Amino acid sequence: MRQEKLGEGTYATVFKGKSRVTGEIVALKEIHLDAEEGAPSTAIREISLMKELKHPNILRLIDVIHTESKLMLVFEFMDQDLKKFMDANAKATHGALGTATIKSFMYQLLKGIAYCHENRVLHRDLKPQNLLINKHGELKLGDFGLARAFGIPVNTFSNEVVTLWYRAPDVLLGSRTYSTSIDIWAAGCIMAEMYTGRPLFPGTTNVDQLQKIFRMMGTPTEQTWPGITQLPEYKQPQEMYAHQNIGQTLPNIDAHGIDLLNRMLQYQPQLRISAKDALNHSYFSDLVY
């Protein structure tokens, strides 16, 4: 039973609803299907895979209802997403969150990512809008059966542009062999954003996105990133930037936080810390969870 419209996304409209059977409040995601083509079989396959993912830090897909003209996904209901949560804090703290909150959210985010990666699932589109939070302070990864089913979206119908801000440099450079490490890069960007309330790399185009990353992390070369010049979208950079100390842009972060962030934001995908190892990092040693 539909109650109210919560939002309109790239390929779906989300409603708040109530289960007639259990009375549980749910979120209904109605996917707009092409009248000619119906639901892509890959999407159906991937979405049914998502039903198998059961973890406290992953949004639960309760049911899938498939009719000729639409595909309806029934999810557990969450109060808000991390973007809205940060925006609500913006008035008091310019969007920056407290250290204890950041630590709790990062731990939960990494637990969700680790579970996905153990099950050979990439999220591919992690960003604050896809991290859902309830009033108990629980964080869950959402919206990713779709990220996986539809591939990495480049642009969308309507004038909504898919954000590049959390996209790993190897993906921006056209690498076709990306792996679990793309989710770790995104998690690092999200961690930095929680400390300031502002995106770390707010690029407007692929080129601008890479430029913003290079300015902060230093311009990569064959010495610092072997193989980079062979990537399909690689172009000789105009400027050689030096590596900046990321701690200077994040005033409230401690040495453990800087170390974890640097391990997540490695240029070479294989050098990025795994979600499992990140959970054991000293940054979380004083976590009250």
Active site residues: 125
> What is the DSSP annotation of 131-164?
EEE-TT--EEE-SHHHHHHS-S----SSSPPPP-
Task: Give the other-Cβ count within 10 Å of 11's Cβ.
Answer: 16
Render the burial of 87-96: b for 16+ CB within 10 Å, e for the rest.
eebeeeeebb
Instruction: List phi, psi (to 5°) of 62.
Output: -80, -40
Are the CB atoms for 247 and 253 separated by under 8 Å? yes
Tokens of 212: 């913003």
Q: Is 276 annotated as a binding residue?
A: no
Both tokens of 92, joined, read 């008091």
Beta bridge partners of 7: 14
- Tell me whether residue 189 is exposed, middle or buried, using C-beta atoms within 10 angstroms of its C-beta: 0 to 12, 13 to 18, 19 or more: buried
Which residue, chain included where needed, has tokens 């299907």? 33
- Candidates 184, 203, 198, 204; CA nearest to 267 is 184
Q: How far is CA 208 from the centre of its chain?
A: 20
Are 126 and 186 in contact, with CB atoms under 8 Å apart?
Answer: yes
Q: Are 168 and 231 in contact (CB under 8 A)?
A: no
The whole-angstrom separation of Cα 211 and Cα 201 is: 9
Cite the annotated binding site for ATP by residue number: 29
Enumerate the known binding-site residues: 29
